[in-house]
Structure 1
Amino acid sequence: MTNLRTEKRKRKKKRKGLKIFLLVLLVIILLIVGYLGFAYWKTTSTFNKIHTPISGKENTGVALDKKQPFSVLILGVDEREGDKGRSDTLIAATVNGKTNKIQMLSVPRDTKTLIPGYDSNPHKINAAYAYGGVKMADATATQFLNGIPFNYYIKINMEGFRDLVDAVGGIEVTNEKEGLSLKGKSFKKGKISLNGEDALTYVRIRKSDSEGDFGRQKRQQQVMSAIAEKALSTGIIWRFDGILNAIGDNIETDFTMTDITRIAKNYRGALSNVENLQVKGEGGRDSGGPWYFNVSDSERARLHDELEKNLD
């Protein structure tokens, strides 16, 4: 009889332990489902906020689910209250999901070029955004590159750049130069960790760099690649709320949420194979006028061919 009672107590304890385990499991499942539901809602609302197609431009979207190559115009704009600003950074990027290769071409902001739709005089390429927003900057970049079209664009507020770096938990880059400094902040040579404020300073350095604007362009490309890799890394999902807040406050694009999902799935391998292209030219003043970076027609043709090759 005693053995029977003991056995019953054991079974009750087992059932009680099983109920506790199932309850904990249920709570975990509910938390995950609730989290994913919130994540989906948050992501959707963020992309609804930043999705801004270029007015009057024909839809040039590509078959991202089939790894079709595509091009992106990346504009880094210094926008302040009451000032539309100019495109401090202009990068033409091509992405090939079949060869897993990304090209990033930084066009110097002082590059002399015509601005379609404004007037018949040459201007600095960074003025295109100030004169006609993303639409005019897009048309000007295509004209400068002898007809390379842009399927998409991303406009980043450079002041909010630091928010994005902080949102992914900081980044690591390799500084290849000694003596880089700006406003009392210096960066040692080698691998360095950057928070948002440091990253913004790092990409703005120009005068203490022997390569001047070209060195700054390389660092901008370097930091953007580091942010992208960190944002797509496993475990970063726990920071997704901060990332989406930073994106929603500082970015405009004609990418949709579906586009980004397909790119993350089908083009991820290209992130580790980035080719940085450089515009060759000469700086100078025309008859005592403003300083320009002058690019020859043959150089523009060369850049066109390089980008076209990666676009198949």
Structure 2
Amino acid sequence: MVSRKQSKRKKFNKKKVAIISLSTLILLCGIGYLFRKELSVFAFNAVLKKDVKTTLNKSYKPVGYESQSPKIELSEPFSLLLLGIDQREGEPSRSDTIIYSVIRPKDDKILLLSIPRDSYTDIIGRDVTSKINSAYAHGGAKMSIDTVENLLKNKVNYYAAVNFNGLKDIVDAIGGVKLPITEVIENKNPIHEKLRVEPNKPIYYGADALSYVRYREDSDFKRTERQRIFISSLMDKALEMKNISKIPELIDIAGSNFTTNMDSEFILNLAETVYLKDSAPEIENYMLQGNGKMRGTTWYYDIDPEDLEYAQDLITSWLSSNSNDGNLLHPKNMD
């Protein structure tokens, strides 16, 4: 027969076990919350990384100089040429979006320097002077890189070319993006692609986001500004993603519309570095300044020589590993 004293001891032990179990659960939940990003990365590496790497490898398209270039360490600043390719039936592929970006992983900063697509410059490899977006049409990423390097007098470490046709699916897959549209955006010129975007929506999905980027009836300044805003919004939404199981879907969508000379290991390491930060990278923007000019029957954008020199200095500052918050050159106001 169990004594009263033994019964009390058993109840006490059960209560003690329950308290310890509850305390342990709370502790584990607390650790899980505090290290939720690290745990997500661990889960990704354990379950998804191999398949994602396989898909990313299909997008790898070197331009010929990779084997001679020193390996970039993620602690060092590097440049990435972003090319938005507008592929339409019956027309050559042109880079309608050209953004020279500098990523400073250690500082968690990104510079986006927009080059207007109609900029009049030497096209390296063709011995002609024409619109900069024609370089991709005639020589792909390699000619675009050579032309941009010649214009900005700074190295392009990597490129990433994204076909606009895949943009809609990517935006839809992440659940849309926030865009600061306060009035109707509409192409009214009959020679332009028909599009219309309504203002003040809380979220914009693929078709509207693509129209927002493509709209062309205001100015180069506004167009390139929209492109930079879209990139920032897309990055913010991607970093908000709670479900890592969506990553393979996104990679699959992007895979057939994306080419780069960054290898899969570098991309994944960069993504992990960015994701583990407490906030999204700080993005600073600039656009090459100039004026439109007709040459014959064609409209071009003439870059201001003094502004071009300023942009070259800006990039040099951002690419320097010796630059810090105290001496880093920040983009001047473009108003």
Quick one: which of 192, 207, 219 aligns to 1:197?
207
SS at match of 1:239: helix
Q: Deviations over 1:50-101 (max 9, x none)?
A: 011112453354101xx21011000011124565411111000011123322
CA RMSD after TM alignment:
2.4
1:127 and 2:137 equivalent? no
1:39 and 2:48 equivalent? yes
Correspondence list, 1:132-211, <5 A: 132-145=139-152, 147-175=153-181, 177-182=182-187, 183=194, 185-189=196-200, 192-207=202-217, 209=218
State the Cα distance separating 1:41 from its structure 2 match. 3.2
Distance (Å, rounded) in 1 between the aligned partners of 2:110 and 2:294:
34
State the Cα distance separating 1:260 from its structure 2 match. 1.9
Q: 1:34 to 1:233 in 2, by over 3 A?
A: closer
Correspondence list, 1:1-312, <5 A: 39-57=48-66, 58-64=68-74, 67-80=75-88, 83-119=91-127, 121-145=128-152, 147-175=153-181, 177-182=182-187, 183=194, 185-189=196-200, 192-207=202-217, 209=218, 212-268=219-275, 269=277, 271-286=280-295, 288-312=296-320
Letter in 1 for 2:162: I
SS at match of 2:209: helix
CA contact (8 A) 2:197 2:211 kept: no
SS at match of 1:164: helix
Q: 1:140 to 1:36 in 2, by over 3 A?
A: closer
Distance (Å, rounded) in 2 between the aligned partners of 1:107 and 1:60:
26
Distance (Å, rounded) in 2 between the aligned partners of 1:297 and 1:219:
24
Distance (Å, rounded) in 1 between the aligned partners of 2:120 and 2:44:
50
Q: 1:238 to 1:128 in 2, by over 3 A?
A: same
CA contact (8 A) 2:98 2:114 kept: yes
SS at match of 1:114: strand
State the Cα distance separating 1:250 from its structure 2 match. 0.7
SS at match of 1:173: coil
State the Cα distance separating 1:136 from its structure 2 match. 0.3
Q: Deviations over 1:125-174 (max 9, x none)?
A: 000011111000000011111x2111111000011111111121211122
SS at match of 1:122: strand
Q: Give unmatched runs, 5+ long, in structure 1.
A: 2-32
CA contact (8 A) 2:44 2:244 kept: no
SS at match of 2:183: coil
Distance (Å, rounded) in 1 between the aligned partners of 2:70 and 2:292:
35
Distance (Å, rounded) in 2 between the aligned partners of 1:43 and 1:243:
10
Q: Give unmatched runs, 5+ long, in structure 2.
A: 2-41, 188-193, 321-335
CA contact (8 A) 1:46 1:247 kept: no
Q: Which moved more, 1:69-78 or 1:263-272?
A: 263-272
Letter in 2 for 1:103: L
Distance (Å, rounded) in 1 between the aligned partners of 2:174 and 2:269:
21
Alignment TM-score, normalising by the size of structure 2: 0.74
Q: How many residues align?
A: 271
CA contact (8 A) 1:284 1:292 kept: yes
Letter in 2 for 1:277: Y
Q: 1:36 to 1:305 in 2, by over 3 A?
A: closer
Letter in 2 for 1:148: N
Q: 1:34 to 1:264 in 2, by over 3 A?
A: closer
State the Cα distance separating 1:265 from its structure 2 match. 3.4
Letter in 1 for 2:286: L
SS at match of 1:193: coil
